[in-house]
Structure 1
Amino acid sequence: MAQTILVTGATGTVGSELVKALANRGLVVRAGVHSLIKGERLKQLNPEVQLVEIEYARPESLHVALTGTDRVFMITPFSEDQVAIGKRIIDAAKQAGVQQVVKLSAAGAEAEPGIQLGRWHREMEQYLEQSGLPYTLLRPGSFMQNFLTYNGEAIRTEGKLYLPLGEAKVNYIDARDIAATAAAILSSPVAEHQGKAYFLSGPAAVGGTDVAAALSQATGRSVSYVDVPEQAAAQAMAQAPAWLRDSLLELNHISKNGHAAGLSPVVEQLTGCPARSIEQFAKDYRQQFQAAPAT
């Protein structure tokens, strides 16, 4: 009998790719979504996908989602209360007798004292480690898809990639490779990856100029990298909540200082396929980076 796997945050960047990857393996996939209407696009990926509404403020919704679930891929929202939400998911998974929890964490979460983003993830990791549940941790670098989510409009309309990173190289990873790695773990015997923490990266650390060059090549139009001074980046986020602004600025600061350039072979080791390059990412998403036609 096929195992049932719950993916929380299933409509997000990694979650939606994982739902697709798991469904293609013939597993029973339960997609945890905040809104059933938003989740409908996951059914379009595979009509066999089960949609289940999860409202973290209502613990009973977690109980329903986890009933009959064998394994969980745990994605927590990037919010001020993410640690509390993570602990709530772990408690509910333990109560439901789940066989394995695979947590999406972040590169450098184990660092001491680390940055705020890492400390949030590490607190959740430790809670999971102490829960008695079989677990595996995935610690990826920054997602390549963030160039589309956060920089896409400026790339399309101005041909500019604005980043406060100087000449730093960063180990960006394609979210599809995170999903493929997670799918490999979730379809393997639990004991094979029990207690492991895997750092994930793309195949090379690249700078803003490299990313702009890849986008230029893929789209056939000029895209240039603009190094934004850190003070200007802070001013641009002045209206954002302090927890959000400060954690992102801190992440950019350590990246600018060369602490996000390390590489890992884990994607290829666990999936059998090399991690996608920035050039491949740009080619695959080139239509989303193209300028809108003039009207």
Structure 2
Amino acid sequence: MRIPSDIHQLHKLATHNSYIMASTILVTGATGTIGTELVKALANRGVTVRAGVHSIIKGDRLKHLNPDVQLVEIDYHKPETLAVALTGAERVFLLPPPTSDQVELARLFIDAAQKAGVRQLVQLSAAGAGRDAQIEIDRRHHEIEQLVAASGLTYATLRPEGFMQNFVEQHCATIRDEGKFYMPLAEAQVAYIDVRDIAAAAATLLTSDPATHAGQAYHLTGPAALTGQQVAEALSQGTGREVTYVPVSEEDARTAMQELPAERVKELLALYADYRAGHAATVTDEVASLAGHAPHTIQQFANDYKAQFQPED
């Protein structure tokens, strides 16, 4: 017997809602750029969100997003905190700290997730992990992907390109003070993605039937591959003041980053070299297919974050 289309749609909606209402979702790295947006996105969907934080005091600001958000301490070096955080959590968003021992920390977490009976794990990886993984941090993400795949857990993987929000975190000071940002990218194009779109994609995975996306890896990008000049034009329009992109040599970039830890400088320079090689210029439609809407443009990002780039009074 053929099911009328309206009844079929109601059945699909009821099934989807049953996955939402029945699950407690643990978000690791909840106070980070992506984690905060994911907590917000999940809370807006009416799910029970458990925010994994290193410090309950620092994590308290997540309560302002939604007072029903549960806060739980996660210290990867204390297995007992992992067990507590995972108790009763059916779904998990995994984003271990980007430290040199990231793979081992992920291993500890995955072991704890297996013991806790987690139904679904969504891993935040990196676009480079799905390529040749020439950069150390991409190799670590690739190793974690392999650990997740071998765990027996139902999983899905997100591989985003570079974040638009990195212009706030890494370049807002020179944009505010000089109206300029400096990068060793020459004319390279990068399909920068807004972290709000990463969060929206992750929220979809975490509130859908886990079998639908089992074993899948999604390469997430913005809607266009952009040069530094195009980013500067968007920031100029968004802020109402001239912003200029200044291409610099790798050596000049190294000198400018001398106050950062040596390992971080090495990773950033390798990432920029990867960008110059054209490896980050591919644009996909996977944000739209997962989130149900087009990804944010660089102009939308610039408009929404313009206050971050304005000179201080």
Q: Aligning the two structures, in what range does the TM-score lie when normalised by the shorter sequence?
A: over 0.9
What's the offset of the Cα at 1:237? 2.9
What's the offset of the Cα at 1:40? 1.0
Contact 2:130 2:159 in 1 (8 A): no
1:69 corresponds to 2:89 = yes
- Partner Cα separation in structure 1 for residue 254 and residue 308 of structure 2: 27
What's the offset of the Cα at 1:242? 3.4
- Partner Cα separation in structure 2 for residue 132 and residue 111 of structure 1: 24
Aligned residue identity for 2:212? E
Alignment equivalent of 2:285, drawn from 262, 265, 268: 265
Counterpart in the other structure of 1:159: 179
Counterpart in the other structure of 1:170: 190
What's the offset of the Cα at 1:111? 2.4
- Partner Cα separation in structure 2 for residue 113 and residue 270 of structure 1: 25
Greater Rg by CA: 2
Counterpart in the other structure of 2:48: 28
What's the offset of the Cα at 1:117? 1.8
- Partner Cα separation in structure 2 for residue 180 and residue 265 of structure 1: 14
Instruction: Note the residue ranges of structure 1 that are not aligned, 5 or more in a row.
Output: none
- Partner Cα separation in structure 1 for residue 216 and residue 79 of structure 2: 28
- Partner Cα separation in structure 2 for residue 158 and residue 241 of structure 1: 25
What's the offset of the Cα at 1:81? 1.2
What's the offset of the Cα at 1:108? 2.2
Q: Aligned runs of 1:137-152 on 2, under 5 Å?
A: 137-152=157-172
Alignment equivalent of 2:155, drawn from 135, 139, 142: 135
Q: Deviations over 1:69-100 (max 9, x none)?
A: 00000011121111111111111111100001
Counterpart in the other structure of 1:93: 113
What's the offset of the Cα at 1:239? 4.5
Instruction: Note the residue ranges of structure 2 that are not aligned, 5 or more in a row.
Output: 1-20
Cα RMSD of the aligned pairs, angstroms, is 1.1
- Partner Cα separation in structure 2 for residue 112 and residue 219 of structure 1: 37
- Partner Cα separation in structure 1 for residue 261 and residue 304 of structure 2: 34
Q: Deviations over 1:17-38 (max 9, x none)?
A: 0000000001000000011111
- Partner Cα separation in structure 1 for residue 24 and residue 234 of structure 2: 39
Aligned residue identity for 2:76? Y
Contact 2:89 2:118 in 1 (8 A): yes
What's the offset of the Cα at 1:113? 5.2
**Does the C-alpha gap of structure 1 residues 215 and 50 become closer, same or farther in structure 2, counting only changes over 3 Å?**
same
Aligned residue identity for 2:206? L
Counterpart in the other structure of 1:9: 29
TM-score by length of 1: 0.97
- Partner Cα separation in structure 2 for residue 239 and residue 226 of structure 1: 20
What's the offset of the Cα at 1:241? 3.3
Q: Deviations over 1:261-294 (max 9, x none)?
A: 011100001111000000000001111111112x
Q: Aligned runs of 1:240-279 on 2, under 5 Å?
A: 240-279=260-299
- Partner Cα separation in structure 2 for residue 113 and residue 66 of structure 1: 30
- Partner Cα separation in structure 2 for residue 107 and residue 78 of structure 1: 15
Q: Deviations over 1:161-189 (max 9, x none)?
A: 11111111101000000000000111100
What's the offset of the Cα at 1:114? 2.6
Alignment equivalent of 1:214, drawn from 228, 234, 255: 234
What's the offset of the Cα at 1:127? 0.5
SS at match of 2:290: helix
Counterpart in the other structure of 1:199: 219
Counterpart in the other structure of 2:14: none
What's the offset of the Cα at 1:122? 0.3
Q: Deviations over 1:103-155 (max 9, x none)?
A: 00000202235321211100000011001111100000001000001101111
Counterpart in the other structure of 1:231: 251
Structure with the bigger percentage of helix: 2
What's the offset of the Cα at 1:215? 0.6
Paired-residue identity, %: 57
Counterpart in the other structure of 1:185: 205
Contact 2:133 2:142 in 1 (8 A): no
- Partner Cα separation in structure 1 for residue 82 and residue 97 of structure 2: 15
SS at match of 2:157: strand
Q: Deviations over 1:239-263 (max 9, x none)?
A: 5333322221111111012111011
